[in-house]
Structure 1
Amino acid sequence: MASARGEITHQIYIEECGNPQGKPIVFLHGGPGSGCSPVHRRFFNPRDYRIILFDQRGCGRSLPYGCIENNTTWHLVADMEQIRQFLEIESWMVFGGSWGATLALVYAQQYAERVSALILRGVFLGRQQDIDWVYGAAGAAKFYPQQWGELLCVLAEEERNEPLSSLYKHLISADEIQKLRVKLALSQWESNLIRISAEPFKPNLLAVESDQSKKIQLHYCLNNCFLSDDFIESQLGKVSQIATYVIHGQYDMVCPVEQAWALHSVNPNIDLNIVPMSGHVADEPLILDAIIRLTDQLAFKS
């Protein structure tokens, strides 16, 4: 599907699987920038669901790969609605994890009548404090000071007071060696945060070199996800009538569980499942189990 705004035409990769007559559900990947993969289909029983996956602008198989022009939260929301109309779906369930949860909430706040249910995993609210937690010295860095120091080592001394903008500057520079060093350092940093028991980081240099996801991710973070700081929380009244289910790892070091609790505090009707002994990623055993149990349950709920 082509989505054109301004001078750049983005070609959005969409795939469908499962039961064409099943409950429609759209999967929103995280990042921003990561793209979809076949493993994302496993969250939904193909007997019960019409499963829609798409790669957001500049991600995965969407073209142009890595493009940040005309690539904002609001472009993605418009793309989602265009996809829904293109597929002739009256309303759908929306599933998003991490950044995907951010996008799911913003979409639902704009098109509440088109959302039959929200499933959010590892909630990220897109506030400045949430971005600073990952890319600032006073957040996750307090728990991983050695690893934070290793990330800063790819920056010159004078760049370290503004790590996010400095890292991004190198990702869009023409210095391919420094660009690779920054990509590797960011991948290493994130690998420390996403699981409770982090496995040793084993980079695939060719894959890291060609990967554009970090550029997109930092593009969004530097622009505060193209949202005002309290946008999602201030708009929660618009989605109060949508059945909302939140699954969040108790020890999530990317998106601390406070973010899920903030949603629940505003709307106590949210079904909040804080998963013990679990971190951020969806394939941790207890989180994966919680997701599949929930989607199996909702498949039979009118």
Structure 2
Amino acid sequence: MSQNLEGSRRAPKMYPPIEPYETGKLKVSDLHTLYYEVSGNPKGNPVVFLHGGPGNGTDAKDRAYFNPEKYKIVLFDQRGSGKSTPTASLEENTTWDLVKDMEKLREQLKIDKWNVFGGSWGSTLALAYSESHPDRVKSLVLRGIFTLRKSELRFFYQEGTSHLFPDAWWEEYIAPIPEPERQDMVTAYHAQLNSADEEVSLRAAKAWSKWEMATSKLYVDPAQLAHVEDDKWATAFAKIENHYFVNDGFMRDGQLLEKQEIDKIRHIPCIVVQGRYDVVCPATTAYDLKKVWPEITLHIVPDAGHSAREPGTSKLLVEAADKFADL
């Protein structure tokens, strides 16, 4: 485990912006079609980027963690997210559907094995995929470890982060929920997010989304929360996230950290980058992963929260990807 305060404060060495040389739509079921893109070197080392949420979608900046001369960079929007259709659909949308989608995409792109890179929910999906298909994974770079245990969900949505943000952000998050229903916020939000009343649903979606966005960085600029007002984005983000969380990720509590599951991937080189002050996915989960999988390299960034875009975190993520570029 390492901490480097001086290094974490340096400007991140992100790669310059690039455009994809291939974009496409992949029909993965009778209902769902995924958007995907490929950039970088067509003959490079394949890497797949797994976005967070679930429900967030990818962004052009997500390509910048990877050396475009060495990597064949694959981004895709998970079911219901980003440019994938139908937007915000909860039907046929589970962790294991997404794992199957990754295999379909890998086969579509004629990739034998790829490096897997994911943060927050992306780390959850990366672990679920790797434990399902360990023979298809060259390396793992993970950030803000999240394994969907009940204790993790309770800390962020019920009681934990609320002790650090008791003021405006928390007050706005609980406001849509009547006081008698606040003993189980995830379930209460599920009812409102799926209300037939669009006004009720949208208000809940924006409040749910703002709570996460407002607490994701050590220093949050309120101006950076403007995208929460995007109705389409907030609806997909909140509805899909809540759908997964109210269903416990469609897995056993703690499944991804079970020894028999970790044993399947123990041979895969793995680097984890974790913000010390991450209140969305607290460092205890990354440390629990380290305890059951001591072979991983765990970097705890002493001056970072949850976001991948904080300087110390992004710098270490780029360095981790660079380390595996020639794998």
User: Shorter chain as normaliser: what TM range?
Assistant: over 0.9
Is residue 261 of structure 1 aligned with residue 261 of structure 2? no
SS at match of 1:15: strand
Identical-residue share of aligned pairs (%): 40
- What are structure 2's unaligned runs of at least 5 residues? 1-25
1:141 paired residue number: 162
Pick aligned residue for 1:45 from 67, 84, 91: 67
Rounded Cα–Cα distance in structure 1 between residues aligned with 2:163 and 2:229: 31
AA in 2 matched with 1:142: H
Show the counterpart of 2:10.
none
* SS in structure 2 at match of 1:238: coil
Which digits, 9 at most, give the CA deviation of each residue in 1:132-190, with x for residues without a partner? 11111x22112112232332121122222221111121111122222232122223311
The match for 2:278 among 239, 252, 259 is: 252
Identify which range, 214-223 or 84-93, moves more after superposition.
Answer: 84-93
Indicate the RMSD between aligned Cα atoms, in angstroms: 1.5
Q: Which residue of 2 aligns with 1:229?
A: 253
C-alpha separation in 1, matches of 2:140 and 2:233: 33
TM-score (norm 2): 0.87
Q: Which 10-residue stretch deviates more, 278-287 or 141-150?
A: 141-150
Larger mean Cα displacement after TM superposition, 153-162 or 61-70: 153-162
* Pair 148,64 (structure 1): closer, same or farther in 2 beyond 3 Å: same
Aligned residue number for residue 88 of structure 2:
66
Task: Give CA-to-partner distance per residue, 1:6-55, whole Å, 9 cap, x none.
Answer: xx421011110000111000000000100111010001011110000110
106, 131, 135: which one aligns with 1:84: 106
Question: Structure 1 residues 274 and 208 mapped into 2: Cα distance closer, same or farther (>3 Å)?
Answer: same
**Aligned pairs (5 A) from 1:147-226:** 147-200=169-222, 202-203=225-226, 207-208=230-231, 211=234, 212-226=236-250
Matches within 5 A, 1:102-117: 102-117=124-139
Match of 1:3 in 2: 28
Counterpart of 2:208 in structure 1: which amino acid? L
The residue that corresponds to 2:4 in the other structure is none
Unmatched runs of 5 consecutive residues or more in structure 1: none
Letter in 2 for 1:267: W
1:255-274 C-alpha deviation (Å, 9 max, x unpaired): 00111111111111101111
Verify: 1:95 aligned to 2:121, yes or no: no
**Cα distance per residue 1:89-127 (max 9 Å; x no partner):** 110000011000000001000110110101101110111
Bigger mean CA offset, 236-245 vs 182-191:
182-191
1:20 and 1:209 map into 2 onto residues whose CA distance is 33
Distance 1:74 1:183 in 2: 24
- Residue 206 of structure 1: how far off its partner (Å): 5.5
CA distance in 2, matches of 1:97, 1:214: 18
Partners of 1:41 and 1:277 in 2: CA distance: 24
The answer to whether the 8 Å contact 1:29/1:96 transfers is yes
Give TM-score scaled by structure 1 length.
Answer: 0.94
Alignment check: 8 A CA contact 1:183 1:209 kept: no
Instruction: Give how far 1:243 is off.
Output: 0.6
Most deviating of 255-264 and 149-158: 149-158
What amino acid does structure 2 have at the position aligned with 1:49? Y
- Distance in 1 (alpha carbons) for counterparts of 2:28 and 2:207: 33
The 8 Å contact of residues 180 and 209 in structure 1, kept in 2 or not, is answered as no
CA contact (8 A) 1:250 1:278 kept: yes
Aligned length: 297
Match among 6, 20, 41 for residue 42 of structure 2? 20
* Change beyond 3 A, Cα 1:9–1:109: same
Counterpart contact for 2:209–2:237, Cα < 8 Å: no
Report the CA distance between 1:205 and its aligned residue: 7.2
Higher relative CO (Cα under 8 Å, sequence separation at least 6) belongs to: 2
Are 2:210 and 2:228, in contact at CA under 8 Å, matched by a contact in 1? Answer: no
Secondary structure at 1:239 match in 2: coil
